[in-house]
Amino acid sequence: MSPIIFAILAAVAFGIWTVFHKFASTYVDQVFGAIFISFVAVCAGLLVLVPRLKEVQLVSDVKGIYFLAGAGICAFLLDFLVLQAYSRGLSISVGGPIVIGGSIAIAAVAGFLLGDSLTWDKLAGIAFVLIGAIILSVSVQ
């Protein structure tokens, strides 16, 4: 299966994740919400991992654990901060594109810094994402 399919499915999950955050934000404490989301993610991950445990090598280098720890801290902050934003009244039509668009721009710039090829098409795409996020940010005020 093409890696693009996995990226598209991840984008769909990210979009739906945003909707669930918006709906949950007014009903739960934001720290509890971020922890609970992580707990559910662990349970879902175990359902996928446990049947494959004998087939997979979990770690090939300890550096991977450090990167995963960093990603885990970022995941907590993402959940917590998005719940904070939505619980304080930010609309999903503004918050979702800012979070998702901003993450697109950061990932793309990081990719370029790590050696991905830089083309005018890619630069234009990043510019449009950033311009859209800026317009939405300014429209809130």
* Residue 125 in this model has a pLDDT that exceeds 90: no
- pLDDT, mean of residues 6-25: 92
Model's pTM, two decimal places? 0.82
Give the pLDDT confidence score for residue 85 in this predicted structure: 95
Taking only the tens place, the pLDDT of each residue in 33-83 is 999 999 999 999 999 999 999 999 999 999 999 999 999 999 999 999 999
Give the pLDDT confidence score for residue 140 in this predicted structure: 63
Can you give 102-126 as a three-state secondary structure string?
Answer: HHHHHHHHHHHHCCCCCCHHHHHHH
**Domain spans, the chain:** 1-88, 91-141
Taking only the tens place, the pLDDT of each residue in 109-118 is 888 899 988 8
